[in-house]
Amino acid sequence: MIGYTTLGTNDLPRATAFYDALFEVIGIRRIMDFGRGYAWGTGMDKPGFGVMLPFDGQPATAGNGTMIALVVDSPAKVDALHAKALTLGGQDEGAPGLRGEGFYAGYFRDLDGNKLNAFCIVKA
């Protein structure tokens, strides 16, 4: 159902460097340049992730209650994404671990305060 998500930034070069390095951990690359933002993904026919300067010219703000979830295929990748985000200056919002039956996740905020979650489903 999700085609793509977009988060706002107030510092595009800083945000771009953060997401280039973060997504490199799971083999995701930049696939689009919008001039005022970029998108990462595995192809135009798959869900993507974008970071942009707001179209209306107003400051970007992190949404209260808004979170983007990034699905990966192993707890090791959840751990690696969470650790990389913190190394890049992101903030911890919940260390990786099991949360409920078979749901393994780690939560963090990017450099603009946007909340993200890396997760996978662990089979018993």
What residues make up the domain containing 74? Answer: 4-54+66-121
Distance of CA 54 to the CA centre of its chain: 17
pLDDT at position 86: 98
Question: Which CATH number characterizes residue 23's domain?
Answer: 3.10.180.10
Residue 116 located in a structural domain: yes
User: Global pTM?
Assistant: 0.92
pLDDT at position 100: 86
Residue 89 located in a structural domain: yes
Residue 61 located in a structural domain: no
What are the per-10-residue average pLDDT scores of the chain (124 residues)?
92 98 97 95 94 96 93 97 98 96 96 97 88
Residue 50 located in a structural domain: yes
Between 12-24 and 75-87, two packed helices, what is the crossing angle to 10 degrees? 150
pLDDT at position 2: 87
Residue 59 located in a structural domain: no
Residue 60 located in a structural domain: no
Q: How many domains does the chain have?
A: 1
pLDDT at position 96: 98
